[in-house]
Every structure is written in structure tokens, then in C-alpha cells.
Amino acid sequence: MIKTLNHLPHPHENAAALASHFTDLAPPLNDRQAHLEASRCLYCYDAPCVNACPSDIDIPSFIRNIHQENVQGAAQKILSANILGGSCARVCPTEILCQQACVRNNAEECAPVLIGLLQRYAVDNAHFSAHPFQRAAATGKRIAVVGAGPAGLSCAHRSAMHGHDVVIFEAREKAGGLNEYGIAKYKLVDDYAQKELEFLLQIGGIDIRYGQKLGENLTLSDLHQQFDAVFLGLGLAASKQLGLPHEDAPGLLAATDYIRELRQADDLSLLPLADRCIVLGAGNTAIDMAVQMARLGARDVNLVYRRGVEDMGATGHEQDIAKANQVRLLTWAQPEQVLLDDLGQVRGMRFARTHLVEGRLQTTGETFELAADAIFKAIGQAFDASALADPLARELKRQGERILVDEQLRTSIPGVYAGGDCTSLDQDLTVQAVQHGKLAAEAINAQLMLNVEAA
């Protein structure tokens, strides 16, 4: 349990009532709804939705399959491009990707084709009798994948398809990464991340070793020597700091730490609950944290951001979810001081009001205070530098604090590839991490087979 919140009470509602607040954010389509929605697709030849999809799913093709009642064929199309297509259908910000690009998304028609819900319908209702992908003949090559998140799992599955043997090294006790530990509970329900993992592993040739953490009981040097290629899907394991005094006070912690506990809890009534809470940040994690506190029964939830609404990382759709759950969005306010009570526990925070002066953020000189029993930081994730502390790992070139890779996901060290949030590519989206893993696996396979031919 979260020690820094031990002094807080538990939710007032019982486990069953609380569980009812964390059901599917968007209920799935039934057969008739899916058929009708699929009929709205124009099956564009040069479909803009495909260009907007980070994982290159042939969207018009899979939707046509649904319309023709070939659900298994639709799922095959999706999963061949994105093996985690089920979870991406649930968590992907389709409103700013494929659905925003849909040609039906205009003033006359008011709404795009619901591509995300159709994708979920296809994957959920395919009912494959066996794994739809077969392994190629064994190559005798071994690939190490560090991290069992979306990028690592995607790389492992595609590598196994090519006939390579894969060992995934995972620091935690479960695989899934962000899908298992970091997504709002109402977005991925019914232990979906583990069900998707079980499906993915059916291809064979993939071994997962848990409790293996790079920088502790694992080094890049050893992996580089023992395997034919290494893929780093490390994610961003550390939380950024505010840089204020009393940041370790009881009642102040990273939002990701609480979300992880919430997602793993069998009984939500045992979680600590802040009746009044502050969430610092402007991205999807901040929204997830604030909404979940509200659904647990928090009476006063304030999400505070130092810039304006237009600069928030969370999409308009996510912001609407927050507002619908009575979360108050406060902008142009920067944390200035953590306020403590006589016991040294969080009682609130003082903020400095901010504004832009010639494009630069500055404080106005005004301040205000908000009372809170807990403060959750969702100001971004940081790279865990200890993971790359061994001599070989220190040779990895960085862009900022992230690992520098080229278009083929190759790092500066031959035979070492990287993808997902730990790299400098793209936004930090699940669907992009999956694409990185897939592209890295293709690049690894091409290089390994080139080496075989050369030999």
C-alpha cells in the first residue's frame, strides 16, 4: 500500500459500489451497431485515416470486413499491423488521430466513423480457434527484449514470427507495462492487459523473465554479449520532481504510483482517499488521476496547470471526461510552496499566478492557496538513468535524457535497438510504442538475415 497516504481515510462506499464506478468508459458496440457504423465508411482509396494511424492499420479494409460480417478477417487485418490492437482500440486518442482525419468528420455530417469502437468490436469478437500468426522456421537467433510494455511485447511477437527465440526481461511481477500499471482503470477493464498478453504469447518462442531490472541484476553489456540483438523498451520509470521543499512529505506523491496501486487493487474500498486533492499536470495521466479520485469519492478535486487550456497535453475529449466527473481545471498557476500541518503532513499548496510575457511564462506576483489532503504529481515521467549505468550502456547517445535512435530504431551501439517512451521519437502514445516495437523487429530481422547471407 502507499505509505505516504497511510494517514488518510478509506472511501465511504463498499467495494461493489466503487467497482461500478470503474466500468467501461465507452461501452462496446453490439452486432447491429457495428454493422450500421461500418456502413458509414466510404472505404476511401487514399484513406486519410490510415495516414493518421501510427501503426498503419488498413482501416477501410477492416471496416469493410465488418460490414461483410467477416469479423475474423477484420481482426486479422488489425492484428497484423498492431498486435495490441485490442488495447489500442480502448486507450488510443482516436479523436486526434484516425477519427479526426475521417472524411465524414465535417460540419455537414457532425461525426466521424467510430473507428476505435469498430476496431474493438472486431478484436473482441473474432474468436480465433488458434493463434492467427505462425512462426517461421527457427533461425537459431536469440533476441533480448528489455521491458514487457507495449513496445517490448510488439517487438517480441514480430521477432517470434520471424523464427527468432525471444527472452523478455521485465522488472515488475507482471507484463504489460503502461497497459497493466499506468492506464485509468475505467479504460482497460476486466484484466484486459493480461488477457491480451496471453493471446500474444500463443505464437510461441517467447520467454518472459520477471524481476529482471536493467541497472540492478541486469546489464546491457551482458545482454549484448549473450544475444544476437537487444531491444530496449524501458519506458520512463521515474517521475519528474517539482524542486520544492517538503516534496517527500506525507500526502505528496507521483500520480503514477497511485494509479498503479489502484489498478492492482482487488478491493477499491481499501485504498487511501483524499477528500480534497490537487493534481498537478495537464496530460492524460493528470486527467486519469483526477477522474479516478473523483470516482473513488473525493469531494474536491482540482487539476492545476501552469499554462492555459490550449497548451494542455490532454485532448479535449479527456478534458470533457474530467469536467463530467466534477474535476475543476485551474490554469495559469504554478506550484510555489507545499503547505504542511502541525504533524508535517500535506494540508495544501500555494500557487503563483502566471502569464506570458513575450512568449515566456512568468509569474504575476499574485499568489493563492488551495487546501488539500493529498497532492499528486503528474508533471511528466523521466528516464531512470540508473538503468544505463554499466560501461556499454553509457555509450548510448542521447537526445536530451532519452535514447537517440534512427528511423530503423537503431541506437548508436550496433545490435542494440530501442523504442517507445525511452526514445526521442514521436509522442508518448501506446500505439506509437507498438509501432516502434514492430519496426525494430523488422530491422533486427533484416540485419540478422543479412549477416547469415554474408556468412
Q: What is the mean pLDDT of residues 449-453?
A: 76
For the structural domain made of 142-237+383-454, what CATH number should be given?
3.50.50.60
Longest Cα–Cα distance of the chain, Å, equals 72
Q: Select from 400, 442, 444 the least CA-distant residue to 425.
A: 400
Cβ(167)–Cβ(228) under 8 Å? no
Average pLDDT over the chain reads 94
Quick one: pLDDT at residue 383? 82
Domain pair 142-237+383-454 / 240-380, same fold: yes
Q: Assign 303 to helix, strand or coil.
A: strand
CA angle 96, 100, 106 (to 5 degrees): 145
Task: Pick 31-124's CATH classification: 3.40.50.300, 1.10.1060.10, 3.20.20.70, 3.40.50.40.
Answer: 1.10.1060.10
Q: How far apart are the first and last CA of the chain?
A: 54
Provide the sign of the torsion angle of the four alpha carbons 345, 346, 347, 351, taken in this order. positive
Residues 12-29: tens digit of each pLDDT: 999 999 999 999 988 899
With 0-12 CB in 10 A as exposed, 13-18 as middle and 19+ as buried, what is 61? Answer: middle
With 0-12 CB in 10 A as exposed, 13-18 as middle and 19+ as buried, what is 163? Answer: middle
Domain 240-380 has CATH 3.50.50.60: yes
Quick one: pLDDT at residue 367? 97
Residue 453: pLDDT band with limits 50, 70, 90: low
Quick one: pLDDT at residue 455? 52
More confident residue, 106 or 394: 394
Residues 301-344: tens digit of each pLDDT: 999 999 999 999 999 999 999 999 999 999 999 999 999 999 99
Quick one: pLDDT at residue 126? 94
Quick one: pLDDT at residue 454? 61
Q: Where are the domains of the chain?
A: 31-124, 142-237+383-454, 240-380
Residues 165-186: tens digit of each pLDDT: 999 999 999 999 999 999 999 9
Dist CA 406 CA 422 (whole Å): 13
Residues 63-91: tens digit of each pLDDT: 999 999 999 999 999 999 999 999 999 99
Quick one: pLDDT at residue 259? 96
Quick one: pLDDT at residue 1? 59
Dist CA 375 CA 110 (whole Å): 39
Residue 426: pLDDT band with limits 50, 70, 90: low
Quick one: pLDDT at residue 237? 82
